[in-house]
């Protein structure tokens, strides 16, 4: 805690850039929830792959340098496994196909208006 009070996270100085980068990491996790619901297929797939890869690289990088606590290694392992799962899952997403019944229903709705 003394080192943190002196402005260091491990051996890394806590600068405005460091805080901005970590805030970006947290915000991407938050924004991916609504984006996953509203983005079209291709953009959604790309956003999930990029965000999860970014998270994986950052959490693994955070283990480099300085002494590491075992509880933190466990958190990194779980987060890295989860984000790698997201990358793999999004990579294999099949393209959506139009359902004939839904398309016909939508056309009926449009002509009724």
Tell me which H or E stretch contains 105. helix 100-112
Q: Name the pLDDT band for 39 (thresholds 50, 70, 90).
A: very high
- Report residue 9: phi and psi, to 5°: -110, 95
Q: Comparing 8-12, 49-53, 78-82, 109-113, which segment has the lowest mean pLDDT? A: 109-113
Q: With 70 as the cut, is the pLDDT of residue 111 above it?
A: no
Closest alpha carbon to 44 in 86, 78, 106, 102: 86
Please report where in the chains the tokens 């693994």 appear, as a residue.
Answer: 60
Structure tokens at 62: 């955070």
Closest alpha carbon to 84 in 38, 49, 109: 49
The model's pTM? 0.70
- Number of structural domains (the chain) is 1
Which residues form the domain of 91?
Answer: 2-112
56 half-sphere exposure, CB direction, 13 A CA radius: 15
pLDDT tens digits for range 94-108? 988 876 665 555 566
Between residues 26 and 5, the one the model is more confident about: 26
Query: What pLDDT was estimated at residue 79?
Result: 93
Q: Which parts of 10-40 fold into alpha helices (H)?
A: 16-38
């Amino acid at each position: 805690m003394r080192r943190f009070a002196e402005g260091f996270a491990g051996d890394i100085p806590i600068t405005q850039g460091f805080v901005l980068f970590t805030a970006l990491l947290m915000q991407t996790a938050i924004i991916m929830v609504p984006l996953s619901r509203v983005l079209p297929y291709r953009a959604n797939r790309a956003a999930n792959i990029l965000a999860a890869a970014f998270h994986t690289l950052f959490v693994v990088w955070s283990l480099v340098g300085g002494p590491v606590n075992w509880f933190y290694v466990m958190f990194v392992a779980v987060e890295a496994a989860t984000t790698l799962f997201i990358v793999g899952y999004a990579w294999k997403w099949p393209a959506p196909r139009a359902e004939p019944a839904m398309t016909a229903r939508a056309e009926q709705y449009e002509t009724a208006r």
